[in-house]
Amino acid sequence: MAVQLDPQLMDILACPTEDHAPLRAGTSDDPDADVLTCTACGRRYPVLDGIPVLLIEEALPPLDAVALAPLDDEASTPDTAAPARPGTPAPGTDGGA
Ligand SMILES: [Zn+2]
**What domains sit in the chain, N to C, each tagged with a CATH number?**
7-65 (2.20.25.10)
Expressed in angstroms and rounded, the spacing between residue 14 Cα and the centre of ligand 1 is: 8
**Helical (H) or strand (E) element with 38:** strand 35-38
Distance of CA 17 from the midpoint of ligand 1 (Å): 5
Label residue 36 exposed, middle or buried (CB < 10 Å: 0-12, 13-18, 19+): buried
Provide φ and ψ at 7, rounded to 5°: -55, -35
What pLDDT score was predicted for residue 95? 64
Q: What is the pLDDT of residues 16-70, one digit of tens each?
A: 999 999 999 999 889 999 999 999 999 999 999 989 999 999 999 987 665 555 5
Query: Which is it for the CA torsion 14, 59, 24, 19, positive or negative?
Result: positive
Which of 33, 38, 63 lies closest to 48 in space, CA to CA?
Answer: 33
Cα(55) to centroid(ligand 1), Å: 11
